[in-house]
Amino acid sequence: MNDIMQLYPPLQQPRALSGLYLDLNLQRQAEPGDLLIYANYIASVDGRIAVREQGCNDFVVPKAIANQRDWRLYQELAAQADVMLTSARYFRQLAQGSAQDLLPVGKQAEYADLTEWRLQQGMKAQPNVVIISNSLNIPTAALDNVQDRRITICTSDRADHRQVDRLTSLGVAVYMAGHDRVEGLRLKQLLVSMGYRSAYMIAGPEVHRTLLADGVLNQLFLTTRLNLLGYDAFHTILSGQLDQPVSLHLQRLYLDQDSANPQLFAQYNTLHPR
């Protein structure tokens, strides 16, 4: 069913949801020797991407905004990635059974076309994984869930060497990509040296701020579910300080006219101050 209306640039003919992001071919946009880094979030109109779960200190995506139509586009973005950038927090949630899902591309039947698409593009069935972590508090058991792909951990020079030794003993490559914290430029240089051309960031607002502050995030995909949530304890798409605002240039804006999931899909380019 064609129930996606392209609002910008204006397009009169409705589109289907499937293929909406896959047609972007993000894996081909970077020039040789460069890397395209893109991020993706879903938020309510009042900016909530995660709220504190009742009875604990963990933050989760609210059920009121999560939906399968947005999840399809999340998977399409993953399908175009050579590597996914995530955090130690995700793996702690995975070990506790509270993670939203296993890292895409999903192995369910409805995403089989994405796996096939990757193989047709000459890509592996699954993108590799880079874990960005200063603490290296990464449960060993959680890493077992992604043994079908290459796992790399990026940390800082101040990392606990006992944790580094523990992880390297498991056969995981650990790289220092910053002095006090993981730095965006050093992270990007490492990824380029590893031959990656497209990287999909699915970590939280702190990693997002790092990539924005260091001027290495190229594109932002933002789904806005058309509801208001409230909540006093919540996360938005960005935390911490930026020395200067990062301007966004709207590339595409879509209205999802599905009555059960009214939402906007936006694609932005980042315009970093020079």
**CATH code of residue 130:** 3.40.430.10
Task: Check pLDDT > 90 for residue 98.
Answer: no
**Lowest mean pLDDT, pick from 53-67, 145-159, 246-260:** 53-67
CB 73 within 8 A of CB 21: yes
**Residue 4 domain-assigned (yes or no):** no
**Residue 206 domain-assigned (yes or no):** yes
| 139-145: average pLDDT | 87
Helices (DSSP H) in the chain: which residue ranges? Answer: 68-79, 88-96, 112-120, 140-143, 161-168, 184-193, 205-213
Specify the number of domains making up the chain: 1
For residues 14 and 93, the model is more confident at: 14
pLDDT at 12: 80
Task: Check pLDDT > 70 for residue 151.
Answer: yes
Beta bridge partner(s), residue 269:
219, 249
**Residue-number span of the structural domain to which 145 is assigned:** 26-271
pLDDT at 213: 93
CB 15 within 8 A of CB 177: no
**Residue 10 domain-assigned (yes or no):** no
pLDDT at 57: 77
CB 139 within 8 A of CB 99: no
pTM recorded for the entire structure: 0.95
| 231-260: average pLDDT | 94
* Token pair 């992604």 in the structure block, residue: 146
- Both structure tokens of 106: 């999903």
Portion of the chain with pLDDT greater than 90, in percent:
84
For residues 163 and 58, the model is more confident at: 163
Angle at 176 between CA 174 and CA 182, to 5 degrees: 110
**Residue 8 domain-assigned (yes or no):** no
pLDDT at 99: 74
Predicted confidence band of residue 40 (pLDDT cuts 50, 70, 90): very high
Predicted confidence band of residue 225 (pLDDT cuts 50, 70, 90): very high
For residues 1 and 142, the model is more confident at: 142
**Residue 21 domain-assigned (yes or no):** no
Edge-to-edge strand ranges of the sheet holding 36-44: 4-8, 247-256, 263-271, 219-225, 36-44, 198-201, 83-87, 128-132, 151-155, 173-176
CA gap 130, 151 in Å, rounded: 6
Predicted confidence band of residue 274 (pLDDT cuts 50, 70, 90): low
For residues 67 and 146, the model is more confident at: 67
* Burial of residue 166, with CB atoms counted within 10 A of its CB: 0-12 exposed, 13-18 middle, 19 or more buried: middle
pLDDT at 94: 84
**Residue 5 domain-assigned (yes or no):** no
| 149-161: average pLDDT | 95
Task: Check pLDDT > 90 for residue 116.
Answer: yes
**Residue 34 domain-assigned (yes or no):** yes
Portion of the chain with pLDDT greater than 70, in percent:
98
Predicted confidence band of residue 1 (pLDDT cuts 50, 70, 90): low
